[in-house]
A and B are shown apart, each in its own frame.
Chain A
Amino acid sequence: MKSSQYVHFFFSNEPLFFLEDLMTRQGGLLWVDKYRPKTLETLDIHPEWTEKLASLCEQGTLPHLLFYGPSGVGKRTRIYALLRQVFGIAIEKRQVEHRFLKVGEPPKEVELTTITSAHHIELCPADVGYNDRLVIQEIVKEIASSKPIELGNVHRGYKVVVLHDIDEVSKQAQQALRRTMEKYTSCCRIIMSAESVTRVMEPIRSRCLGIRIPCPKKEEIEQVLQKIAKKEGLVLPDCYANQLVTQSKGNLRKAILLLQVGRAIAYPFSQQQQKKNEEEEESWISSQETGWDWERLCYDIANIVIREQNPKQLCNIRNKLYELFCHAIPGDMIFRKITLHLLRMMDEEVAPQVCHWAAHYEYGMKRGSKEIFHLEAFLAKVMYIYYSHIHTQYSMAWMDD
């Protein structure tokens, strides 16, 4: 009784968002959203894929696809562009739904957010956590059970299920997906996105066409930035653009976001020519002016380890870690940032060890549940390694295990 109320509630919603609405409201959007390419032709980076994807759409049979590559290279943007290519403008009529699904035996209620249009449904199964397997089965079955809608001239024999972050879902869910993919091939296609394809199991990989999206080249990012600057009527000095490119480390989204933050905080951009060597870059990164706040906190932690090695500083570090923890910054990201920063600052001799222990403790963190413990243990270890490295001429620290 309880759930039926809600179901009624959701489905009585009219589509919240129409095309004209989209047009009028674009002014306030962030640049990264405002200038997001909508079609395959307007995609700025990786032109080599554009043509291939277009040809895939032309043929009657679109295979299952898996887009993979690091964060911020445009996987989702590309998926949208592809859908647009397949289904035309109708795909822009999207609706965000927050749904409660009854899944499994005995029925459990799970909540998840989906984005739907007449031709596709988009969800992130990892959001529902433990029940991801059931959700995938349910959604795909649901989609497959209804016939694809024929809208005017657009007619394809299938609908599309977009599953984001497929690498985050559980093994069982992936198991479940493999047969589902085969079973419903005739009426639906599955498009997935993943950051790390290693975590996608082999049977799934072998059932779909993998599309690797590498980080854009530096020049490509710079071009995109300049293009946006031009449209916004900004003066973007080359050196500043360069800095943004270096700092974004191949993440296009970050580069554009940073550009806009720079515009909001310090416009006109400084013309100063930064030296390009490594050290200068360090000082620029660790200065308080740029980068996200959580990144700066990570750098702080690494700096403490380098500066001083004692329990009191470890306490200090723990407080900072808790701050990151409270804001739900994922542990592996903290590990990455801290490790990279440590490697940059430390002597080359200890670097392999730091790498080893970073991997070791991060592995522990993945198997455990309290991220803080593992991070703290790692930082204590690094403190110890670094301490013995500084205080002994010929380091035998590697022998201590």
Chain B
Amino acid sequence: MKEDLVLPAPREKSAGADGEPLLEVSGLVKHFPVKGGFPIRRTVGAVQAVDGVDITVHAGESFGLVGESGCGKSTTGRLIARLLEPTGGTITYRGQDISHANRKQLAPIRSEIQMIFQDPYSSLNPRQTVGKIISGPMEINGINPEGGREKRVRELLEIVGLNPEHYNRFPHEFSGGQRQRIGVARALALEPKLIVADEPVSALDVSIQAQVVNLLQKVQRELGIAFVFIAHDLAVVRHFSQRVAVMYLGKIIEVGDRESIYTRPRHPYTHALLSAVPEVNLATDDATARERIRLAGDVPSPISPPSGCRFRTRCWKAQDKCATEEPPLVQISGNREGHLTACHFPEEPTTEARDEDIVLDPALAALEEGTPGPEPAQEA
């Protein structure tokens, strides 16, 4: 890439968490109807994919959204990008309520909220050239940059680290990482203020993931674009996001700045999630041992979520109160400013090893009980 590459100046100083909220989501609900019945099909239930989510994203900030598969991260992203119609709650973009705006009403802000998709193989139209794909959004929004759209597209290709000469190529001629870069260029074409990145690297090779994450980080810093970064890879989110929200079964159970979530988590689920991250430790490296929590079972069905706290069915601290009362998302004592947790019985704010490992998985527990003794011979 050329040294003298001119990036457009950030329109707003990235003010971090202190800036005015760019996007405010409150009480966001999305239920997908479940149809059934014979002979007359009717709605018999609802998949409560997102059930009361509050998010605030500030200008220029990178906001991470993590959680297990099927916890509603992607649905939340799609709701923010208004690809889906929310069932309830409000989405406010720069003071403007866009929760139920139609296509015409959304037109002026369409260029400001863009999206990067998960699958680089299905997010590019195989019948269009790279140039057409990237200039499409400009065409739709009637943007005519100085020097023509083609020049701008070549600039964008250079920004995302592709050869501008690839203008006339087709997506099938690129690798996954290169395709994802094209997707990033398309999102940047409209000079957005907010990009919803829906697991942008999870379909990529690990070696390519770092490249794309660094590209996104560069874009975020240099262009001052706010990101809603959806991922299930905690390490990637830690690298990329200033603030992180942890989702479980359609709800945010803990939110806070990166440090708070990763080093001082309070919610048992966050603890479990963090302890599940594999870590490469050299034997000689006697850094403080990390706690070890192994959950059992799957996320409960979002069609009939558990009452009260949704995590109680898999939580080792669950008591009667958890079933009857839903814990509010508040700043509990011992939390730093802006670190909110939804739990009646929060954990200690540390990730260090505890006296006893928590192993809820009966199979794993049985296996581990056997290992110290002479049992393994029996297994073999």
Whether A associates with B in a native complex is no
Which B residues contact A (CB, under 8 angstroms)? Answer: none
